[in-house]
């Protein structure tokens, strides 16, 4: 079987002298690994486009069932320019791409993840200083889109709608909110101010350029970070520790 698709390069590695493996997020098939035989030498077939973060058009032969997929040809659609010369921006981009690599994204979920990842990379290439929360918010949104959405619209105990200015709680093990009347104690109950809650809902429902964390107070930003980090760790079993992701 042979197919052609758009893909983002998530990770690249070498094996033997001239061959490479490439982890891709493809628009239709999701996350998969392809082998680029002669990849580190053949500029004609791969035209130097096998770098992390590049958007490529790829022609692939083989099936997952057959054991491996071989990259026949690739051409560059969009490379990273500014990101490659800016350590902070590149770090945020790599963080997002590494997270995608860990998830088993396939089939119908692939298109949404691909589009979101492209939007994040475009945002990181732009003039505005990127939000340091961006990679964390990306994790929340991807987790939500992959079926792990935290419920942020009402109290999971009494059903009251979250419309007030009061501080609510996020119950980690329940994956949802407790209103001020249903307050809980314990390590799974994380505080969430009204503004933080509203912001996390925006992240779930809107494009990344609208995720403007600068309108939050630093304490609210920290709340958002704590909730997302704990949520991803608890429900997806993935933790970000000492500069790398770890399965927990």
Binding residues for Zn ion (CB under 5 A): 155, 157-158, 160, 179, 181-182
Other beta carbons within 10 Å of 227: 23
Q: How far is the CB of 244 from Zn ion (least distance, A)?
A: 38
- What's the rounded Cα separation, in Å, for the pair 42 and 89? 29
Q: How far is the CB of 225 from Zn ion (least distance, A)?
A: 25
In terms of CB distance, is 7 or 162 closer to Zn ion? 162
| φ/ψ (deg, to 5) at 102 | -80, -15
Work out how close the CB of 95 gets to Zn ion at its nearest, in angstroms, rounded to a whole number.
Answer: 35
* Cα–Cα distances in angstroms (integers) from residue 155 to residues 32, 176, 183, 186, 194, in the given order: 38, 7, 10, 17, 13
CB nearer Zn ion, residue 1 or residue 158 = 158
- The answer to whether 46 and 74 are in contact (CB under 8 A) is yes
Nearer to Zn ion, 91 or 154 (CB): 154
Nearest approach in angstroms of CB 217 to Zn ion is 25
CB of 189 to Zn ion, least distance (A): 13
**Element spanning 115, H or E:** helix 108-125
Task: For Zn ion, give the closer residue by CB, 128 or 158.
Answer: 158
Contact status, residue 56 vs residue 9, Cβ threshold 8 Å: yes
**Cβ distance to Zn ion smaller for residue 158 or 219:** 158
- Residue closer to Zn ion, measured from CB, 182 or 230: 182
Burial (CB count within 10 angstroms: exposed 0-12, middle 13-18, buried 19+), residue 241: exposed
Reference 135, options 183, 181, 96; nearest CA is 96
Residue 70 CB coordination number (10 Å): 14
Residue 142 or 193 having the CB closest to Zn ion: 193
Q: Shortest distance, CB of residue 230 to Zn ion, whole angstroms?
A: 20
CB of 155 to Zn ion, least distance (A): 3
Residue 189 has phi, psi (to 5 degrees) of -100, 110
């Amino acid at each position: 079987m042979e197919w052609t698709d758009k893909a983002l390069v998530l990770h690249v590695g070498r094996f033997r002298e001239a061959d490479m493996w490439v982890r891709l997020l493809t628009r239709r098939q999701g996350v998969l690994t392809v082998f680029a035989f002669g990849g580190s030498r053949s500029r004609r077939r791969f035209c130097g486009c096998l770098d992390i973060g590049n958007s490529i058009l790829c022609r692939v032969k083989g099936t997952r069932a057959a054991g491996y997929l071989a990259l026949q040809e690739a051409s560059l659609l969009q490379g990273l320019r500014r990101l490659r010369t800016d350590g902070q921006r590149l770090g945020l981009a790599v963080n997002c791409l590494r997270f995608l690599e860990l998830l088993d994204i396939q089939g119908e979920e692939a298109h949404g993840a691909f589009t979101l990842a492209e939007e994040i990379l475009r945002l990181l290439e732009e003039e505005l200083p990127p939000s340091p929360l961006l990679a964390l918010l990306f994790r929340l949104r991807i987790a939500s889109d992959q079926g792990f959405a935290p419920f942020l619209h009402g109290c999971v105990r009494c059903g009251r709608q979250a419309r007030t200015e009061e501080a609510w709680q996020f119950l980690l093990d329940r994956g949802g909110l407790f209103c001020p009347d249903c307050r809980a104690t314990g390590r799974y109950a994380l505080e969430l101010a009204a503004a933080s809650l509203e912001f996390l809902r925006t992240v779930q429902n809107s494009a990344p350029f609208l995720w403007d964390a600068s309108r939050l107070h630093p304490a609210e930003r920290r709340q958002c970070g704590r909730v997302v980090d704990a949520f991803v760790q608890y429900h997806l079993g993935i933790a970000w520790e000492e500069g790398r992701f770890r399965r927990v």
